[in-house]
Every structure is written in structure tokens, then in C-alpha cells.
Amino acid sequence: MTIRSAIVDDAPAVADLIVQLGYSATVAEAADRLERLLARPDNDILVAVDDDRVVGFLHVSVSESIEGETTGEIRGLVVNEAHRSGGIGAQLVEAAEAWVRQQGVRKIRVRSNVKRERARRFYERHGYIVVKTSNIFDKEL
């Protein structure tokens, strides 16, 4: 298993993984998002590669705000259904934590829907604690 930064050519596998995570994405949309996000120094998309095949990804970023300290944030994590429970998610999280440390940031955060009980148990096993629950509001513009 190798963990590396994604490249735009990973878009087909990333699009499939986004769908497995419960969202929609075409290959073209995944390629566009990869291209834009990877061009920003405050983001990285890490991929887990097994036998030259992308089997998971983790999007990590640095988040700055006026009201609080700078934090790293796991924005998305998914491992292919056929490869779950084999330690790939843990390897991706460890790589994300190392990336955040390299950015000079001392805290990392992840947000997860309260319905994702399996994700909650995964993060708690890796030392993350629930500090708040909240509502998320959207408005179409």
C-alpha cells in the first residue's frame, strides 16, 4: 500500500469513491475538483494505492478563521468497499495528520454526519473526540 498525493489522472477512481461516500460526481467533475484543490497550498488530496489502483482517498486542508485557531481539517475520507477494515483508512488519517503537522498546525478536526456511526467509532479509535454537534444550513444562490 502506498499513500501519495492525488493527480488529475486519478479522477475516475476518485469519482467512484465519491459515489461510494454517498455523493455524486462525474469523472469530469472529479478531475476539475482535483485540479483546483491540488493547486492550492492549503489543501491536499491523499490517495491510497494498491497494485496501481486507487482504493481510497482523504481530502485534508488547513482552515483559518478570525474566531478561532488555525486547524487542519479532514474534509472527506473514503475507502473502496472491497478494501474496508484493512487499515487503509488509518494509514490515510496518519498521513493527513503528518501533512497538517508539516503545515505548522497543531490541531486537526473532522466533521461527520451523526448517522455515520461506523465513522464515529473509527475516529474515536484514532484519538478523536466529539466536541460539538451542530446544524448545517445551505441556501442555493
What is the residue range of 101's domain? 2-110
Q: Does 27 reside within a domain?
A: yes
* Type of residue found at 77: L
Rg (CA), the chain: 15
- Inside any domain, residue 106: yes
pLDDT computed for residue 106 by the predictor: 96
Q: In this structure, what CATH number is given to the domain that contains residue 68?
A: 3.40.630.30
Instruction: Return the pLDDT at 136.
Output: 87
- Can you spell out the DSSP letters for 55-98? EEEEEEEEEEETTEEEEEEEEEEEE-GGGTTSSHHHHHHHHHHH
Q: Quick check: is 13 in a domain?
A: yes
Q: Is residue 26 part of a domain?
A: yes
Q: What CA–CA distance (Å, rounded) separates 91 from 96?
A: 9
pLDDT block averages, 10 residues each, the chain of length 141:
97 97 96 97 97 97 95 97 95 98 97 91 95 91 96
> Does any domain span residue 15?
yes
What is the reported pLDDT for 135? 87
Q: How many domains does the chain have?
A: 1
